[in-house]
Amino acid sequence: MTNDPFVDLRKYDQSWFDRGRPGWYILLWWLVQAIAFPLTPQPLNILRCALLRLFGARIGKGVLIRPTARFTYPWKVTIGNHSWIGDNVVLYSLDQIRIGEHCVISQKSYLCTGSHDIQDPAFGLKTASITIDNGAWVAADCFIAPGVQIGANAVIGARSSVFTNMPAGQVCWGSPCRPKTVRIKLDPSTNP
């Protein structure tokens, strides 16, 4: 085994990558997010949603977004009705991130749509979308990798690392994350 690097970062080139907006617009967004988001009090969720919509995010009604959540490119994000985005969640949206209705993305989770080709000597950028289907819960401090789909009503346990699709209606956890058990829907009329 040699100590020479397998990559030559001088050859890195992402000139092909489309960020979806011009550079000045992206800088404006980052400035607005850096100042407006953390300074808005918790109850001013409506202002954070309005700012995201202003910058092209598709945000449903009744969505709750905490002031410390971060969105790389909001115009590549869709969040369905009545979903929650927790504190310090990062939506690294180099590609599309679609979050369904009634989803919870808990604090410190990282949804990552970008990576690099480790076989490429130029360390080429790779992107792939992420989809979180209706009713899913991504618990605290999870990592969701590029190209992953979380099925409807799935639960991803705290601190899991998800590198492959997770099936609907399953409770999944681990690193790497794996389905462990069926999520049972309780009948509210039988709940004391």
> Angle at the Cα of 168 (from 93 to 177), degrees rounded to 5?
65
pLDDT in tens for each of the 192 residues of the chain? 679 999 999 999 999 999 999 999 999 999 999 998 889 998 899 999 999 999 999 999 999 999 999 999 999 999 999 999 999 999 999 999 999 999 999 999 999 999 999 999 999 999 999 999 999 999 999 999 999 999 999 999 999 999 999 999 999 999 999 999 999 888 777 665
CB atoms within 10 A of CB 152: 17
CA 128/CA 137 separation, integer angstroms: 21
Neighbours of 47 (CB within 10 A): 16
| Helical H segments across the chain, by residue range | 23-39, 45-54
Going along the chain from its start, the domains and CATH numbers come out as 20-182 (2.160.10.10)
Listed in order, strand segments (DSSP E) in 36-169 are 58-59, 64-65, 70-71, 77-79, 84-85, 90-92, 97-99, 104-105, 110-112, 114-116, 125-127, 130-132, 137-138, 143-144, 149-150, 155-156, 161-162
